[in-house]
Structure 1
Amino acid sequence: MNLLPILLFAALVVYLLALVVLSSKWKRIKATKEPVQGGVDYPVTLLVPFRNERENIDKLLGNLANLSYPNLQIILIDDHSEDGGEKLVEEWISTEKKHNFKLISNQGRGKKAALEQGVVMANANIILTTDADCALSADWVQNMLMAFDDPSVQMVAGPIMTKGGNRIFDHFQQIDWAGILLMTNFFFSIKKPIMCSAANMGYRKEVFYHVKGYQGNHGNLSGDDSFLLEKVYQRFGPQAIRYLPESNVLVKTNPASSPRRFLAQRARWASKWNKHQFWQNAGGAMLSAVLSFASICSVLLILAGPTGVGMFALYWFLKLIFEYFVLGRVLKTYEIKPSIGYFIVASICHPIYVVAVAFLSFFVKTSWKGRK
């Protein structure tokens, strides 16, 4: 029992140091909602693949119609929907006479094939992508385009955050996303990007063809974003990829409706940890699982009597305080301020969730929109 506290607090020190190091790159980010000027002359194509999104179609179309960028083509790609959502899109485009909107059907299978077909149909060299369950600010397009004023920039990525809600589970997801954004920003800052999201991404059309799109990655259910990121990075170097963490390019997505769906989503993401070519992906996933398992094992300290209870309390106090200030800074950038109570719940539940996701990614087959 004497060795256990040493191991647990050693793991805690590693975790706290990791938080401090990751947060060191977030200090320069300023919260802003002001639209930036520039880049408004580029023709742009926005690709929105969707499958079985009938419940989100109305909000999606209304949101896309409110985008203020003047030279914008919007292509919605139906990936074999089974809920009639594609008919709603077709009727809306016809009724509203939206000539810059186009609906096409995926001739292949899966999101990667849908995006590849969208790229072929795009009439602009600058391509942006998002998902059907997301909400974009009116000036999102021009804010994303600013980075492309630099001719060396081939790809741009931005932050994702779940929409707010009244459930504790909704706040948990926002705090979890804060950790993802913190890590994403850090690795971009040190020129070693390891992740991004196709829900908030853009690239030059010729670059997509240059790296042969998703060739070699079609066998993976997800990862259209991170695999493309790796290809662009390897071909053009870190200077060709820009991450924009500011609030004026934030894309909001729907929170998972249930813990089961949330775990399934995260397990699907985690299941490709060993498919990446960068060791940081696998190393980060394994380290996170190990440190989370250590937090769960800290319960054993209570068995050591009053001294053990004191160490247990100290362990979780330090963990909570660091998470509250570090992740709270990230959320503050996007004007999200969860109470300390939500952080307590998240701090306790997060290690269990990480270990559960690791287990599911190894031993349970994942699915997306009814596909294994």
Structure 2
Amino acid sequence: MDFKHCNTINNWIVFNTSFKIFQTKMNFELLQILLNIILITTVLYIICIIAFTVGLYNLKERFFTFNKKINVKVSVLIAARNEGKNIYKLLQSLYYQTFSKELFEVIIIDDHSEDDTKNIIENFIKEKDINIRVFEAENIGKKLAISQALHLANNELIMVTDADCELENTWIESVVNFYYEKKPKMILSPVLLSPANNFFEKIQVLEHLSLIGSTAGSAAIGFPVMCNGANMAYEREAALEVEKQRHDFNIPSGDDMFLLEQFVRNYGYNKVKFLLSKTAIVKTNTCKTVSEFFHQRRRWVSKTKFYTNWKIISTALTVFFFNLSIVSLFVSAFFIPALWSLYLLLTLLKFFIDFPLLKNITTFMNQSKILVWALPLEFIYPFYVIFTAVSGLLINVSWKRN
């Protein structure tokens, strides 16, 4: 081999060695950046969940003896679309309310149902002595249906639920008592998914309870960042005033969250309260299929890109990036095996951070038995969050094919 060839080989060896050193250095620097990001998001997540947990623990469960002197009148608003299988259960629970039937009305907007929803409602009205009015939707979508119902309402306090829900018979009475006592502009109340017979349903119930716990805890510290449209109440005049300033009616979902944002903007955080009472619980159905579940969650997520409240946005981003950190560690561990221990450590840390909040809300909801699924859920949850967040922001969603 001549000198020229030897020199070429030596140069290649030097280049290859230098490149590997550079690559190793770059990988190390990228790993350092990743670990720093994980550290920051972990600290923010811990602060966030601890704050919600403290709020939930300090929130007193409410017990009411109805004050007959209270003369607050209520309008219950419901948007219904293709709820023939569920609407009768809701109507029954409205009929058996302990609150005086003379003091509340029910307004149902039928949003272009293709089944016998409207017929079931009309037959129920004929059979029962209860003030229910049903109207055809003037527009398309739940948000506009609720808006239409609001303008048809006559009473001081608006209560909103979904057509597939079942109410405690003390639901109206409890909310009215709380409203009379605290005078908030908006009241958020607990929602329980049911049934919880198999693994899929139990995981849904537990995941949803974590959201309810966070809703209650955040509201308790004057920091309401979530709500559930299946169980809300607000003053009619305040809602009509707020509606003049809303610009979200072209967005398919978010009838609850955008309303919360606007109420906070108009009246302040301290005018939004959470009613922690078993007598005010609303039950709704768990999803029967995985595709139905992900469609629902993508619909919920799709509205987040339109949020304007910095507290809601920062909370959503904290949760997203913390879960993204866990997923990133899981993927990186296939290339850097030493990261497996860090992935497991962070997942277990999340479990211990989340557990007190889950323990409190499951105990309140009499769902302590499903708490055994909390640890398995922690290993699933980050992947579910990232998938629904990304797909929800990229894929168009609809409300019951509307």
Q: Output the TM-score relative to the length of structure 1.
A: 0.90
Q: Please name the residue that 2:4 is paired with.
A: none
Please point out which of 96, 111, 128 is paired with 2:159: 128
Q: Please name the residue that 1:18 is paired with.
A: 48
Please point out which of 83, 103, 118 is paired with 1:53: 83
Once the two structures are TM-superposed, the CA of residue 303 in structure 1 deviates from its matched residue by 5.7
Cα gap change, 1:227/1:312 in structure 2, threshold over 3 Å: closer, same or farther? closer
Deviation track 1:238-287 (CA, whole Å, cap 9, x = no partner) reads: 33322213333221111122222222212112112132220222222222
Distance in 2, Cα, partners of 1:107 & 1:236: 30
Distance in 2, Cα, partners of 1:151 & 1:311: 47
Determine helix, strand or coil for the equivalent of 1:138: coil
Say which one has the larger Rg: 2
CA contact (8 A) 1:172 1:342 kept: yes
CA contact (8 A) 1:147 1:242 kept: no
CA contact (8 A) 1:40 1:69 kept: no
Distance in 2, Cα, partners of 1:214 & 1:257: 38
Percent of aligned positions with the same letter in both sequences? 25
Once the two structures are TM-superposed, the CA of residue 81 in structure 1 deviates from its matched residue by 0.7
CA contact (8 A) 2:193 2:286 kept: yes
Deviation track 1:208-239 (CA, whole Å, cap 9, x = no partner) reads: 22223574221011112222222222222233
Cα gap change, 1:303/1:12 in structure 2, threshold over 3 Å: closer, same or farther? farther
Distance in 2, Cα, partners of 1:324 & 1:103: 44
Instruction: Trace 1:179-198 onto structure 2 (pairs within 5 A).
Output: 179-198=210-229
Q: Where is the helix percentage greater, Structure 1 or Structure 2?
A: 2
- 1:69 aligned partner, one-letter code: F
Distance in 2, Cα, partners of 1:214 & 1:369: 27
Say whether residues 1:161 and 2:196 are aligned partners: no
Deviation track 1:170-189 (CA, whole Å, cap 9, x = no partner) reads: 12122222221233223323
- 1:75 aligned partner, one-letter code: I
Say whether residues 1:104 and 2:135 are aligned partners: yes
Please point out which of 349, 353, 356 is paired with 1:322: 353
Say whether residues 1:72 and 2:104 are aligned partners: yes
Distance in 1, Cα, partners of 2:43 & 2:294: 27
Query: More displaced, 72-81 or 347-356?
Result: 72-81
In the comparison of the two structures, how many residue pairs are matched?
368
- 2:76 aligned partner, one-letter code: L
CA contact (8 A) 1:130 1:198 kept: yes
CA contact (8 A) 1:158 1:244 kept: yes
Distance in 1, Cα, partners of 2:148 & 2:37: 52
Q: Please name the residue that 1:254 is paired with.
A: 285
Deviation track 1:133-188 (CA, whole Å, cap 9, x = no partner) reads: 11111111111112322585222221222123112121212222222123322332
CA contact (8 A) 2:206 2:374 kept: yes
CA contact (8 A) 2:84 2:116 kept: yes
CA contact (8 A) 1:73 1:100 kept: yes
CA contact (8 A) 2:83 2:163 kept: yes
CA contact (8 A) 1:50 1:132 kept: yes
- 1:288 aligned partner, one-letter code: V
CA RMSD of the aligned region, Å? 2.4
Once the two structures are TM-superposed, the CA of residue 6 in structure 1 deviates from its matched residue by 6.2
Q: Output the TM-score relative to the length of structure 2.
A: 0.83
Please point out which of 71, 93, 103 is paired with 2:125: 93
CA contact (8 A) 2:301 2:392 kept: yes
Query: More displaced, 283-292 or 51-60?
Result: 283-292
Say whether residues 1:264 and 2:295 are aligned partners: yes
Once the two structures are TM-superposed, the CA of residue 37 in structure 1 deviates from its matched residue by 2.5
Cα gap change, 1:304/1:275 in structure 2, threshold over 3 Å: closer, same or farther? closer
Determine helix, strand or coil for the equivalent of 2:162: coil
Deviation track 1:301-352 (CA, whole Å, cap 9, x = no partner) reads: 47655x6554444333333233333312221111111445411221111101
- 1:86 aligned partner, one-letter code: K
Distance in 1, Cα, partners of 2:339 & 2:266: 53
Q: Please name the residue that 1:29 is paired with.
A: 59
Determine helix, strand or coil for the equivalent of 1:166: coil
Say whether residues 1:360 and 2:391 are aligned partners: yes
Cα gap change, 1:31/1:258 in structure 2, threshold over 3 Å: closer, same or farther? farther
Say whether residues 1:113 and 2:162 are aligned partners: no
Once the two structures are TM-superposed, the CA of residue 295 in structure 1 deviates from its matched residue by 1.2
Once the two structures are TM-superposed, the CA of residue 10 in structure 1 deviates from its matched residue by 5.5
Once the two structures are TM-superposed, the CA of residue 79 in structure 1 deviates from its matched residue by 1.0
Distance in 2, Cα, partners of 1:213 & 1:159: 28
Distance in 1, Cα, partners of 2:245 & 2:161: 17
- 1:21 aligned partner, one-letter code: A
Cα gap change, 1:314/1:233 in structure 2, threshold over 3 Å: closer, same or farther? closer
Once the two structures are TM-superposed, the CA of residue 91 in structure 1 deviates from its matched residue by 1.5
Distance in 1, Cα, partners of 2:308 & 2:346: 35
CA contact (8 A) 2:56 2:220 kept: no
Determine helix, strand or coil for the equivalent of 1:252: strand
